[in-house]
A and B are shown apart, each in its own frame.
Chain A
Amino acid sequence: MAKAKQPSAALSMLKQMSTDRQKESKTKTAAEKDTEKTTEVKAAVKTTASEKAGAKDAAADRQPAAEKAGSEKRAEQAASNTDKPRNETASPADREEGTIDRAAYEALIAENARIQAEKEAAEQRAKEKDAEARQAAQRAATASNAGTYQPNPVYAGGNGTYLQAGTGYGMENYAYGENGPAVVKPGKTQFRNMVKEKKNVRKNFLLTPSNSEHLKEEAEDLGTSMNDLLNLILEDRYN
């Protein structure tokens, strides 16, 4: 019966941490949503209140005298705007302040934008130049290395091919080429013997099903994994 693979304690711990984190972030998101909802409700309440106040103001504005005064003011404003050149039509706030030269201000902004653009373009050119230099260096390095590749003489016998196995002196697995020994695959019989040996070793260390059950119970009692418990037992046994 194939032994069931034990989950790694380390990975389980990391997974648990990940799950905890997700749970935490979900809780946070829920809390954030609640806060958002509360803010929305508060905003809605505020809007309704301000709308009501606005309606009251509008009612007051409906008075004919005030309306007349307003239309006169608008007409005056329109007249003053047409007298000025187009680039001098500043915003009402600017006009009221009377301190900002709009045209000079816009020219300054344009100048700043131009300087910034030039700076960025220069930086970009420097970066491109740097990248080109790096590429050129790489090309030069590649060109200088071209044609100098040598196959590993130890593993490939110096010419990239496997060589015939030698015999005697325990050197069955090695063959000598022109430039040194080359590794070759073991023969069939040898391979079978190796497998057999491996199986024997494995059998000696196999746990019987009853042992396995017992170990599992013990591990559960101790609150650890079977693998960790086994490691502990082995450590105690061999230390």
Chain B
Amino acid sequence: MEIIAIANQKGGVGKTTTALNIADALRHSGYTVLFIDVDPQANSTSSYKAVIENTYTAQDLFEKKCSADEAIQHTEFGDIIAGDPGLSTIEMDVQKKMGGFHLLKKALGKMKASYDFVIVDTPPNLGIYMLNALIAADKVIVPIKAEKYAIDGLQRLIETISDVKEEENPDLEIAGILLTTYDKRNELDRKLWDTLPEVGEAIGMPVFETPIRISQDVKKAQDQIQSLFDSYPNSNAAYDYARVTKELIEGDK
């Protein structure tokens, strides 16, 4: 079982979209995937058509009210541990708890159900849930958007990842920086894409060879609560996510 966290403390960089589509691509390639939504916004949970009422969610998992196996919901899009807006209200309690940073790792360690991949969607801050995801993960993907402050924010994330590697999870591997919503007609996007390999080298992070091109089909699929690969398989974004997934798997070999 390989645990992949999708992390960046910046919001709106395509974390949820990336997490959903990589999970979907892995599923289309025949792998078994568990999706964990630890973002209180719970957008992935909506995309999976999972429920948060009268069932165990990630909140219950962090409150130790249930096991990971009990929190898994089987939906038409795959298995998910649903996110919950209540996660934000218990954040301080989880932080104060003894071993609060290792809750996700412990829960997944005890999980009886077996999956090839576990994809963890994280919230846009360097809080307890992101740290839980980084401590539990084997790999981390860092999506960035082509914009002015994209690189600036990376520095803090790198420091956090380094700290986690040093103190808690020495096996944590950075799968790569992934450029999302890439529009080659935009000069800034082109510049960023051209300089990204150098930036990656300078900060010690690999860069995915495929950028995710901007595509309206992603928004349409999300709006229709459909899988991108089922509803718009010919879109540029579907092709790009398939290639990124291929890179990810080939990186393992």
Residues of A within 8 A of B (CB): 6, 8-11, 13-15, 17-18, 21-22, 130, 134-135, 137-138, 227-228, 231, 239
Contacts and interface: CB of A to CB of B under 8 A. Distances in A.
Nearest to B243: A13
Nearest to A139: B54
Contacts of A22: 30
B30 A18 contact: yes
A14 B29 contact: yes
B185 A11 contact: no
A14 B185 contact: no
B245 interface: yes
Interface in B214-253: 229, 233-236, 238-239, 241-243, 245-246, 249
B54 A135 contact: yes
Given A8-B233, A10-B238, A130-B65, A138 B53 contact: yes
A231 B30 contact: no
DSSP majority for the A interface? helix
Interface of B: 25, 28-31, 53-55, 65, 184-185, 229, 233-236, 238-239, 241-243, 245-246, 249
Nearest to A225: B234
A14 B245 contact: yes
A6 B238 CA distance: 15
Nearest to B230: A11
A9 B245 contact: no
Contacts of A11: 28, 229, 233, 238, 242
B241 to A, nearest CB: 7
A94 B162 CA distance: 55
A137 B53 CA distance: 9
Contacts of B54: 134-135, 137-138
Given A10-B238, A14-B245, A17-B246, A239 B185 contact: yes
Nearest to A130: B65
Contacts of B229: 8, 10-11, 14
B73 to A, nearest CB: 15
15 contacts: A8-B233, A9-B234, A10-B229, A10-B235, A10-B241, A11-B229, A11-B238, A11-B242, A13-B239, A13-B246, A14-B245, A15-B28, A17-B246, A134-B53, A228-B239
B185 A13 contact: no
B126 to A, nearest CB: 32
B75 to A, nearest CB: 19
A17 B55 CA distance: 35
A14 B53 contact: no
Contact of A14 (B234, B236, B242): B242
A6 B235 CA distance: 12
Contacts of A231: 236
A130 B65 CA distance: 9
A61 B63 CA distance: 66
